[in-house]
Amino acid sequence: MRSTIIVLGTAFALLATAAFAKDYKVGTLEIDNPWSRATPKGARTAAGYMVIKNTGSAADHLIGGALEGAASAQVHETVKESGVMKMRAVSGGLEIKPGDSVELKPGSFHLMFTDLKAPLVKGQTVKGTLTFANAGTVDVEFAIEGMGASAASDMDHMNMKMEPMQRH
């Protein structure tokens, strides 16, 4: 009985988290589920992640943004050079081609938030903006996930496997 309650409670919590995921639109761009990781006390940087889809017929570029409580937000990418992982700013911004989607995710493209004034806390949301070369600026909220999260809510809701209920 206890394992059934745990499985059901976990399923409801995960579905509730999915229900709070927010999507935004500016021009022909759709922004799905902006998120960031919680940061330890004293951390000065964080990264922002999301999926951006271009439904239009012309390319656009994510050129920056802002996060409440951070000095700046720059488009960065993580690359491996000579066996060493490095982060660097993306000159000219991140292109989103017409009809394509671009995923900002750990170990790849992301928004780098600098000079944080306070830690980002799991379970909270933080207001921010995204700035695009053509579409302009859109207000968003970043959901703050756990420190080690690899994706928003660190799960794939569509492929979630449930263990069968057991009777005791």
Q: What is the pLDDT of residue 149?
A: 80
Average pLDDT of the segment spanning 118-130: 96
Structural domains for the chain? 23-152 (2.60.40.1890)
Q: What is the pLDDT of residue 47?
A: 96
In this predicted model, which residue has the larger pLDDT, 127 or 3?
127
Each residue's pLDDT tens digit, 56-88: 999 999 999 999 999 999 999 988 888 888 889
Confidence check: pLDDT of 164 > 80: no
In our burial notation (b when 16+ CB lie closer than 10 A, e otherwise), range 37-74 reads bbbeeeeeebbbbbbbbbebeeebbbbbbbbebbeebb
The first and second tokens of residue 105, run together, are 């995710």
pTM, two decimal places: 0.76
